[in-house]
Amino acid sequence: MVQAWYMDESADDPRTPHHAQPGRPVGLEQLRRLGVLYWKLDADKYENDPELEKIRKERNYSWMDIITICKDKLPNYEEKIKMFYEEHLHVDDEIRYILDGSGYFDVRDEEDRWIRISMEKGDMITLPAGIYHRFTLDERNYVKAMRLFVGDPVWTAYNRPADHFEARGQYLAFLAQTA
């Protein structure tokens, strides 16, 4: 099961867990209220998994590819890692399925506090369009992930502040309804 928690305010290495003290765990229901969806799947059978196919069909995730993030595999690794960790939003949902390795997605809650979501093999997550977030590897420095999209992929990240985008307004309206 996914683990999530409120983060401390430390500017230390982002690849460490950064648990707030005292610890403040976050459950799936709180993530759902932020629009974050989560599934646990069998990553060893991702190429022929009826459960993954069902999710893709129900949610119209028609496009996919696989990315490996580590020094040996990702061109411009250092630059990309810094870019992934910049706080940003997308105008489309961000869907990631961890096939191997691990990392962290950080998302802002309704009071603008960071929640860290630990992602490892078999975890699949959807971050809603308009949510401020960022990604980093953990101390293992390796993740292999499936990226999914509704329709053609859009890779554009809009660094904060990006409140003028329609997707951000729609997300804030969603949060107001779930409060």
Tell me whether residue 94 is annotated as binding: yes
Tell me whether residue 88 is annotated as binding: yes
To the nearest 5 percent, what fractions of the chain are helix, strand and coil? Answer: 25, 35, 40
Let me know: does 167 contact 90? Beta carbons within 8 Å.
Answer: yes
Tell me whether residue 87 is annotated as binding: no
Tell me whether residue 51 is annotated as binding: no
Q: Give the 3-state secondary structure of residue 38.
A: strand
Residue set of the binding site: 88, 90, 94, 133
> Which residues are part of a known binding site for Fe(2+)?
88, 90, 94, 133
Positions at the binding site for Ni(2+) = 88, 90, 94, 133
